[in-house]
Amino acid sequence: MMDFILPLVTFFPLVALLLLWLIPARQISLLKGAALGLGLVEFALSLPLWTAFDVARAGQYQFAFQKPWMPALGFSFHMGLDGIGLVLVLLTTLLLPVILLSSWQVTDRLKSYLMLYFLMATGMVGVFVSLDLVLFYVFWELTLIPMYFLIGIWGGPRRIYAAVKFFLYTMLGSVLMLVAILWIHWSTLVPVEGGTFARTFDLPLLLQHFHAGGPAQLWLFGAFALAFAIKVPMFPVHTWLPDAHVEAPTGGSVILAGVLLKMGTYGFIRFALPLFPAATRMVLPLMVTLAVIGIVYGALVSIVQKDVKKLVAYSSVSHLGFVMLGLFALNAEGMSGAVLQMVNHGISTGALFLAVGVIYERRHTRQIGEFGGLASQMPLFAFVLLFFCLSSVGLPGLNGFTGEFMILLGSFRTQPWATAVAATGVILAAVYLLWMVQRVLFGPLSNPKNQNLKDMGLREVLVFVPLFVLAIWIGVQPQPLLDRIGPAVETTLELMRSR
């Protein structure tokens, strides 16, 4: 089974999609139960990746699967997983059933809604396990389609605008990346049997044999980096994100913050940095500057938001700026912290979007001014919101602290002044999140519309339980994750040095 574990985890969501398609649309309860059960099966199928993963070889690709796809064109169905891909795949499969359980209130075109999440799950897992550039690109583009429809059909009043903006931004970067992939393919020959040479899209082979001069490498890096920067999103190509988050349904916001944004940061560490090390050095000051601007800008804009969901959306711009700062520290501490923070952001910010969904379902508003004093009326909700705000701030003992600390430690060694400015983002995060908590949860319960709100029920509590457990576990004992992430980061750094 382990020889086929990666294709199984990648394509089981498509099987689940077909099973959901067979259920009549009017069977709402059956559709919800089946979707949740299939989501849990997908998570269960991914667990052997953790238990069977050889930590001693965490820097190497494991569970390798390679079959010819279109050999005449150089395509191969090549999959593999190192420590970086491992943690991101498990984050994806964990969030899938969490999102499905949180979407219980959705009834409009429910079957299509659920099927789109499973289609997106295949694309997201495929991105993290692909070792062929064309296969990676196919999965990368596959995630675009379901997210476009989730925003455009089940989103808010400005859903069409947000969906089109999301599509155009992402598609622009993707097309340029495709051109760069084709250029790499046609400019690289690798030795094959019989003493001949052939072109390939295989990433491990390209890392051995692909070489480009300074100007060409810089242009190629730019094409990849633009696609990944839009997905992160980095300043100044971030403007699609707040619109997409605000208009998306709750589940769409969670999967967008939890996984889709990580595809951009993953793309940098898996493809852009090792393929184009010289260009990386050339643009390092620019990338660090943009990361720091994103950290401070995202935090300052979050402070002035009146919509709690938009506040959390802009906080993602700031938090992902920390991830980019860690990646471009180009040392083990910074990059390992960046990968760990990818996971932490998916947990904490995903939970905050779920918490926003809880109060939106009851009041159908996200305006901070409409609330106040909810702690006395909804104590369970108050605990959840405060807990994950503290997690997002980086309180020691919770998951956000370790990642941010490692990023600042690693980046300070190479960019001390940039790190000093970026550290203000930690203070500003406490300002906008705790100020939001104070205005939403505390003070008098003066708005009559809030006086009869029901607290979270059992289903809503169960949505947060796995994220709560992970936030504490990673905060107290992050070493199991770092044991898997660290060697993979070292391998990437060694590739860059050797190339």
8 Å CB contact between 333 and 409: yes
Model pLDDT, residue 59: 86
pLDDT the model gives residue 180: 93
Residue 79 three-state SS: strand
Q: Are 72 and 185 in contact (CB under 8 A)?
A: no
Nearest-angstrom CA–CA distance, 51 and 62: 13
Q: Which of 295, 268, 264, 265 is nearest to 280 (CA)?
A: 268
Task: Please name which of 241, 200, 167, 242 lies closest in space to residue 69, comparing C-alpha atoms.
Answer: 200
Q: What is the pLDDT of residue 71?
A: 74
**Side chain identity at residue 88, one-letter code:** L
Dmax of the chain from CA atoms?
A: 81
List pLDDT tens digits, range 453-488. 898 999 999 999 999 999 999 999 999 999 999 999
Q: Which element (helix H / strand E) includes 82?
A: none
Q: Is 55 exposed, middle or buried (0-12, 13-18, 19+ CB in 10 A)?
A: exposed
What pLDDT score does 342 carry? Answer: 95
128's CB contacts (< 8 A; 6+ apart) are: 81, 85, 88, 89, 92, 263, 266
Place of tokens 């992050």: 478
Q: Identify the pLDDT of residue 1.
A: 58
| Tokens read off for 245 | 């988050």
* Residues of the chain under the 50 pLDDT cut: none
Judge contact between 342 and 348, C-beta under 8 A: no
